[in-house]
Amino acid sequence: MKIKSFASIATKYEAIFFDAFGVLKDYGGLIPGIDTTLRMLDEAGKEIFILTNDASRSPQALAARYQEQGVTTITPDKIISSGMLAREYIRYKVKSGAVVYLGTANSAHYLEDLGIQCHSIKDIHLDDADQYNALVLLDEEGFDWNHDLSKTINLLRRKNLPVVVANTDRTYPVSRHQLNIAIGGVANMLEDIIGRRFIRFGKPDAQMFLFAYEHLQQRRTITKNKILMVGDTLHTDILGGNKFGLATALVLSGNTLPDHYKFLINSTGIIPDYVCESAVMEQ
């Protein structure tokens, strides 16, 4: 599979879905040239959405960061986060009562604007378990793992709650050589211990792509074969995009390194339609 220039590919599609981390930005901030690229795509009339497994901040907060860095094309309505899907679930399926969450107060904004009562795992009493109607895993920060992860297990043993995971990623990078464990990794441990099925939202799940697709159709009718998904990770961005019927481009500016991409495509069986060095278009 030969490496192509992103410019030569992008021109064939009417809408482009971007992963955020490893594609638009990395631990050092914005990837150089991405701001210009996004402006060029916008001027060429391409519809752009960002699909991110990030439920730690609202679309407003996420977009504000891009704006601060001069990327004026990224507005809150362009951002589709896994937290939005978790909120949809709670909206449709939890009619009453309160919700317990793992995460920071920032991440709880996803739930609070539904008008539902939300309590951090660190603040609840297990004797009140009957009051709660769902547990939502939003963010890996905001609670004490040593104490509150066992407390989560014991809450679920007291009451059989639906558990929603708003981020399927197991880790996220904090510098070139260091990762942090993300709430998706913690969720796998809790699910394994309690032996119940959690409800996960985030790439590669179809609902993430469907949500972006529906937002797109509200702006303009574009068929799936005119949409390109651009990502740096085979088993989230590319697998999910392929399964949903989109064209897919793997970029080598993040998780998947130039030396390994052929081996990884072959060993995973997850095959992108294109491979590009990055999502940057030269001026």
Q: Which residues bind its own copies (CB under 8 A)?
A: 88-89, 91-93, 126, 141, 144-146, 149-150, 153-154, 156-158, 160-163, 170-171, 177-181, 185-186, 188-189, 192-199, 205-207, 210, 224-225, 235, 239, 242-246, 263, 265-271
Task: Encode burial over 4-33: b for 16+ CB neighbours within 10 A, e otherwise.
Answer: eebbebbeebbbbbbbbbbbbbbeeebbee
Where is 151: in which H helix or E strand?
helix 145-158
Residue in the structure block whose two tokens are 């990837």: 31
Phi, psi (rounded to 5 degrees) for 119: -130, 135
Phi, psi (rounded to 5 degrees) for 248: -135, 140
* Triad 261, 263, 269: Cα angle to 5°: 95
Closest separation in Å from C-beta 248 to its own copies? 9
CB nearer its own copies, residue 80 or residue 239? 239
CB nearer its own copies, residue 61 or residue 126? 126
Tokens of 164: 């929603």
Contacting residues for 50 by C-beta, under 8 A, at least 6 apart: 17, 18, 19, 20, 24, 62, 74, 78, 79, 80
Closest separation in Å from C-beta 199 to its own copies? 5
CB nearer its own copies, residue 178 or residue 218? 178
Closest separation in Å from C-beta 60 to its own copies? 23
Closest separation in Å from C-beta 2 to its own copies? 15
Q: Can you state the angle between helices 82-93 and 206-219, rounded to 10 degrees? A: 90
CB nearer its own copies, residue 67 or residue 225? 225
CB nearer its own copies, residue 178 or residue 283? 178
CB nearer its own copies, residue 29 or residue 176? 176
CA distance 136 to 145: 16
Closest separation in Å from C-beta 140 to its own copies? 8
Closest separation in Å from C-beta 67 to its own copies? 30
CA distance 36 to 42: 10
